[in-house]
Amino acid sequence: MRPIKKAVFPVAGLGTRFLPATKALPKEMLTVVDRPVIQLAVDEAREAGIEHFVFVTGRNKGVIEDHFDKQFELEATLRKRGKSAELDMLEQDLPGAGQASFTRQQEPLGLGHAVWCARELVGSEPFALLLPDMVMHARPGCLKQMIDVYNARGGGNVIAVEEVAWDQVNRYGVVAASDWKGNAFTIDAMVEKPPRQHAPSNLIISGRYILQPEIFAEIAKQEPGTGGEIQITDAMIRLMARQNFWGIKYQGTTYDCGDKIGFLSANVAFALERPDLGADFRAALKRILDSHGGL
């Protein structure tokens, strides 16, 4: 069983649900309070012991690379002004020298294709895959919880799932679960966007994966599916014929920050929890709600 030391962050999507904000700004740089969602995903990966961060970027995404670099003018100014807390924070957020790699997906041909673009950087190791626009609010972080399952089950592939209302299962990838131990289970099947009456459960695949490198060969075999895109679920379904897949109903809440309601909800939830903002924000929120007819 090999440890998980690399993580892939696909950030080449067009973010069409967030136009016009995402015309020039990558959606992964939208902030939850004051942290870009891509930074939250990197924080989660570091907490889980990841040592190498692989970003699959596209055109107009250069600012993500800049975000994970030093900013000499800014740092010099902060130093001159004695702003050591801000300087320390910037320093802490940076991956170490040589720990970040960037590759390009030249065309947004789907998530599966974006992952495949990382194959040379990942090599023959198992790796974590984090969709940065899915913000997981969890302690310990979602990926940490998944790595605990990976270790306990002796390797294989792991997918984080969450429960949704039954009338929503037709929008997601859904898993069939058996052999529960605590909140972890064996995945017996996966179905992409099943109608409610054919869904094996209401547990949806939610944006965090641990995958074995054999997934790359499965992606390579694929013809474009729904919407002309190369999907990751199809490749996982084929890999399941040969390898174990475990699921974890992780402890925490998922916010889909690629969607407006998810993004706004994440901002409210994270702001309410911040010791430096919580009380003031709660009062501000109450005033806003009162002046808009209450809840």
Q: How far is the CB of 30 from ligand UTP (least distance, A)?
A: 11
Tokens at residue 71, please?
Answer: 């900013």
Question: What are the phi and psi torsion angles at 146 (to 5°)?
Answer: -70, -40
Quickly list DSSP for 33-50. Answer: TTEEHHHHHHHHHHHTT-
Residues 220, 234 contacting (CB under 8 angstroms): no
Q: Helix (H, G, I), strand (E, B), or coil: what is residue 68?
A: coil
Q: 157-163 and 203-211 as β-strands: parallel, antiparallel, unpaired?
A: antiparallel
Task: Indicate the residue among 155 and 225 with the shorter CB distance to ligand UTP.
Answer: 225
Which CB atom, from 55 or from 281, has the smaller least distance to ligand UTP?
55
Specify the residue, 110 or 141, whose C-beta has the smaller distance to ligand UTP: 110
For the CB of residue 295, give the shortest distance to ligand UTP in the complex, in Å: 28
Cβ-based nearer residue to ligand UTP, 100 or 131: 131
Residue 57 or 157: the one with the smaller Cβ distance to ligand UTP is 57
Count of CA atoms in the C-beta half-sphere (13 A) of 188: 8
As measured in angstroms, the least distance from the Cβ of 18 to ligand UTP is 6
Q: How far is the CB of 27 from ligand UTP (least distance, A)?
A: 6
CB of 60 to ligand UTP, least distance (A): 11
Residues 6+ apart with CB under 8 A from 248: 145, 146, 149, 158, 159, 160, 161, 183, 184, 185
Q: Are 232 and 211 in contact (CB under 8 A)?
A: no
Q: Which helix (H) or strand (E) holds 253?
A: strand 253-256
Considering beta carbons, is residue 246 or 263 the nearer one to ligand UTP? Answer: 263
Q: Work out how close the CB of 283 gets to ligand UTP at its nearest, in angstroms, rounded to a whole number.
A: 33
d(CA 229, CA 250): 28
**198-to-97, 195, 216, 234, 247 alpha-carbon distances in Å:** 49, 5, 29, 18, 20
Cα separation, 249 vs 178, whole angstroms: 12
In the complex, least distance from residue 88 CB atom to ligand UTP, rounded to whole angstroms? 29
Q: Which is nearer to ligand UTP, 196 or 260 (CB)?
A: 260
Classify burial at 68, counting beta carbons within 10 Å of its beta carbon; exposed 0-12, middle 13-18, buried 19 or more.
middle
Pairwise CA distance, residues 143 & 294, whole Å: 37
Q: Which residue sits closest to ligand UTP, CB atoms considered?
A: 13
Q: Which residues pair with 247 in a beta bridge?
A: 159, 185
Of residues 106 and 183, the one with the C-beta less far from ligand UTP? 106
Binding footprint of ligand UTP on the chain (CB under 6 A):
10-17, 28, 56, 105, 108-111, 113-114, 131-133, 258
Q: Least distance (Å) from ligand UTP to the CB of residue 152?
A: 28
